[in-house]
Amino acid sequence: MTEAWITIAGLAVGTVVIKAFGPITAGGRELPPRATAVIALVAPALLAALVVTLTMGADRSGITLDARAVGLLAAGAGLAARLPLLAVMGLATIAAATARALT
C-alpha cells in the first residue's frame, strides 16, 4: 500500500472510533441539560468558522478581502434586518457580483 492509502485507512478508522465513542460511553442515559445545550451550539459555531475561513482565508498569507467578503457582509446586513432567507441570498449575490464587476 502507498502512503496515501495508509493515511486514508487510518483516517477512516479514526472517524469510526470517534463516531462510536459517544454512543458507547453514553449508552441509554440522558445527557445533562448543559451538555445538550453545548452540543446544540457546536454545529452553528463550526459552520460560522467554515464560512469565515473559506471567505477570508483564500491565500495562505493572511486575510483576503474581496467580493466574497462583500457578499458576506451584505448577507449579515440582510439577516440583521430580518429579511427572508431568499432575499438575503439575493442581496448577497448582487453585492458580490457588483463588487466583482467593479474590481
How many residues make up the chain in this entry?
Answer: 103
Give one DSSP letter per residue of 45-65, joined into a string: HHHHHHHHHHHH-SSTTS---
The span from the CA of 43 to the CA of 61, in Å, is 27
Give CA–CA dist 94/103, Å, rounded: 14
Q: What is the pTM of this model?
A: 0.56
Residues 9/2, Cβ–Cβ less than 8 Å? no
What are the tens digits of pLDDT across the range 14-34?
999 998 888 888 777 888 889
Distance of CA 46 to the CA centre of its chain: 5
How confident is the model over 48-95, as pLDDT tens digits?
888 888 877 766 667 777 888 899 899 999 999 999 999 999 999 999
Q: Are 79 and 88 in contact (CB under 8 A)?
A: yes
